[in-house]
Amino acid sequence: MGECFVSLLSTKSKYGHLKKKGLTIEGLAMVDPKKKKHVIKISRPLVFDNRLLPKKFEGLDIKTNIKMSDDMPTEFNVDRSQPEWFKLQYIWAPERFEKYVDRCEKEIKAQLNDPMLTKKELLDALCFGNFEEHKSKSMQLIKEGKLPAYREN
């Protein structure tokens, strides 16, 4: 089924251009062995319009990862040299996206090739397609102790 998504991205004009914007299809992955739940894993750069991606394809959820690079914006620089750094700092904290958009709004609009985007649209584009949903989910996970609360770098 992952091959179907690859061919869809390659042949359909609706999605074909996304590969040129840095989208990589990693293939099928099992995320829940007990339920035998599979997803289509893709990765993309930080500055990418996630609103263009489907949430599902042929009944499979799309799982998106952001490609980490050495030149991540300062808002997303966390000390990954610490053991279990992810328990200390949530790299995709909603506050990081907000600070990044506040600091680099013009540059992000230029990279997305749309100077008319509002701040809300930029946050949605960068933040998995729906910023408020991500923020709400993150806050819930913080309350449950599954994510660390945001703190300045």
Supply the pTM of this predicted model: 0.82
Average pLDDT for runs of 10 along the chain of length 153: 51 63 82 80 91 82 86 86 76 96 97 96 94 96 92 73
pLDDT at site 12: 44
For the chain, what's the residue count? 153
pLDDT attached to residue 39: 84
Query: What are the structural domain ranges in the chain?
Result: 2-66, 74-143
| pLDDT number for residue 77 | 85
Q: How many CB atoms neighbour CB 34 within 10 A?
A: 5
| pLDDT on residue 5 | 54
The confidence score (pLDDT) of residue 98 equals 97
